[in-house]
Amino acid sequence: MVSGERGFTLVEMIVAVTIFTWALLSLLGANVLVVQLLAAGDRATTASFYARERLETIRGMSCAAMADGSETRGGVYDLTWDLEPAYGGSVRMVELLVTYPARPNVMRTDTIETSVLCTR
């Protein structure tokens, strides 16, 4: 480079491009993680929706119709519920388990325990 001229040398340009490339690659890796976390959150929300829907169905049943059971929703959400009489039979204690894939090769089970008053 001629003295007095401004600009970057070839070495400076290679270093700058290398730093820029590493920064871009790390942003891409973070983007993949964010997509995975969003998908996991979506699956957890869907599992919660199915659990709430099942509990509302159980609440609408008569005491005689309430029974233990299980079902699969959406192909991957396994719901299992267990009902036990309590307080002289006028209440049913409900334990509802929802099992679903949280991440690839990782299953998660959420448990909901509540009581349902028999009104009929």
Instruction: Give me the CATH number covering residue 106.
Output: 3.30.1300
Q: Token match 């089970």: residue?
A: 109
Residue 87 has pLDDT above 70, yes or no: yes
Question: Is position 101 within any domain?
Answer: yes
Question: Is position 3 within any domain?
Answer: no
Instruction: Quote the pLDDT of residue 69.
Output: 96
Structural domain boundaries enclosing 64: 10-117
Distance, CA of 118 to CA of 84 (rounded, Å) = 12
Residue 1 has pLDDT above 60, yes or no: no
In this prediction, residue 52 has a pLDDT band, given cuts at 50, 70 and 90, of very high
Question: Is position 2 within any domain?
Answer: no
Question: Is position 48 within any domain?
Answer: yes
What are the structure tokens assigned to 57, written together?
């169905």
In this prediction, residue 2 has a pLDDT band, given cuts at 50, 70 and 90, of low
In this prediction, residue 22 has a pLDDT band, given cuts at 50, 70 and 90, of very high
Instruction: Quote the pLDDT of residue 113.
Output: 96
Residue 97 has pLDDT above 80, yes or no: yes
How many percent of the chain have pLDDT more than 90?
60
Among 94, 95, 90, 92, smallest CA distance to 119 is for 90
